[in-house]
Amino acid sequence: MSGTAQIGVTGLAVMGRNLARNFARNGFTVALHNRTASKTRALVDEFGGEGTFVAAESAEEFVAALERPRRLVIMVKAGDPTDAVIEEFAPLLEEGDVIIDGGNAHFADTRRREKELRERGIHFVGVGISGGEEGALHGPSIMPGGSTESYASLGPLLERIAGKAKDGAPCSTHIGPDGAGHFVKMVHNGIEYADMQLIAEAYHLLRSVAGYSPAKIAETFRTWNTGRLDSYLIEITAEVLAHTDEATGKPFVDVVVDQAEQKGTGRWTVQIALDLGVPVSGIAEAVFARSLSGHGALREASASLPGPTATPLPEADAARFADQVEQALYASKIVSYTQGFHQIQAGSEEYGWDIDLGSVAAIWRAGCIIRAAFLDRIREAYDARPDLPSLLSDKQFAEEIGAAQEDWRAVVASAVHQGVPTPGFAAALSYYDALRAERLPAALTQGQRDFFGAHTYRRTDREGSFHTLWGGDRSEVANG
């Protein structure tokens, strides 16, 4: 078998199959391999007319089908299965060949694999791919890490199959070395968790406080999607809320068990944020909200706890409240992205990746789950000021969130008064207020730490580290 394929895909479950078809539809000859050969044959039988495929039953045949430098995409389950596939194919490759991991790998695993394969002369590229099954087929947002040499070889192919923003730019760019791509994909998913939680809270408020039906809320979301909240998640929310269950005739949302599941990337985002010392409270609350929803026995045991029951507002007041919820949702969404980009910035500094935040915003404009109209403005903000310390430091975003804050506060207050949980809205507002506070109670926290553990503190009036001898005359001593 001669090396004629520009790219190869091994692992032909739904994502791998659709990615292979995307490459073929864009004019590339694609080598195919799967542990179960019948899946390879089935893909060719069903979709062979979409482009040129080279089916291979063995690892050796698969590698032989690839032109040099060989580009081999792994689309298998993250973790040990990925390591097993790497060990199967790496001995068959030569110096300069490229292994691409398109799964949802932890960036630390990607860093380890890149280092190990680099020592063997093989490039390893961890690629974050967002957009689900449809994105993989029609154009995802692609976040590749790895060496600049590997992107020179692989980048043109990825940019061809990626989603395209409204200005025609491909939603793929070289993120940075080793695990940078998978790190950015992880944070993307964290923002996605927060975004979904905020939308869910908006729905809950409109239903419980405004008294709207799911169909009316769907209309509200459709209206919001024509303005500054224009996004994929708002769009599909309207579709979900408008859907009627065929079996019961009830709104679809009323027949779904209210326990949200998760695959782990949101948890990773929060765990790594803790390691980096970056506050991502909105993402954390979204992760915890899903966790809490799944504790059915705990919720059942607590259902009789005292507290207010939401009372729907009169129609005129409900319409005004809906407008306030839109303001709160937009402001909280800005905070979620602010926290996510702060984490990417901190990760870039920690690992020496030199990530261009404007480019990250640019490749999220199409293909991915969190694609939204205001990503254009985020890109512009970081392009204008690459050293922007926070999205809230951008004049336009600061003005918008300032204009929204009165309604934002009113919504959170109404939620508290009515007993409707809004952890995302409240956490976002608390983060905003903490940033703008002249003094935080952390001074008292440091005093407590010094009292029980002699952890020392710094003073506002002079340099140095100090400790108070708590007891007796409580004299202060300089530390070191």
Distance CA 466, CA 116 (A): 46
Residue type, 241: L
> Residues annotated as binding site for substrate?
104, 130-132, 188-189, 193, 263, 290, 449, 455
CATH of domain 7-174: 3.40.50.720
At 418, list the tokens.
């009515």
CATH class of 441-479: mainly alpha
What pLDDT, on a 0 to 100 scale, did the predictor assign at position 299? 95
What pLDDT, on a 0 to 100 scale, did the predictor assign at position 267? 94
pTM: 0.95
| Range 185-436 classified under CATH 1.10.10.10 | no
> Residues annotated as binding site for NADP(+)?
11-16, 34-36, 76-78, 104
Which among 361, 369, 360, 371 has a CA at the least distance from the CA of 131? 369
Looking at the annotation, which residues are catalytic? 185, 192
What pLDDT, on a 0 to 100 scale, did the predictor assign at position 264? 83
Residue 399 burial (10 A CB sphere; 0-12, 13-18, 19+): exposed
The ranges of the chain with pLDDT < 70 are: 1-2, 480
What pLDDT, on a 0 to 100 scale, did the predictor assign at position 262? 83
> Residues annotated as binding site?
11-16, 34-36, 76-78, 104, 130-132, 188-189, 193, 263, 290, 449, 455
Considering the chain, tell me which residue range(s) the CATH 3.40.50.720 domain(s) occupy.
7-174
At 11, list the tokens.
């692992």
Distance CA 225, CA 236 (A): 10
Distance CA 337, CA 382 (A): 13
Considering the chain, tell me which residue range(s) the CATH 1.10.1040.10 domain(s) occupy.
185-436
Considering the chain, tell me which residue range(s) the CATH 1.20.5.320 domain(s) occupy.
441-479
Task: Identify whether 69 is preceded by a cis peptide bond (ω within 30 of 0).
Answer: yes
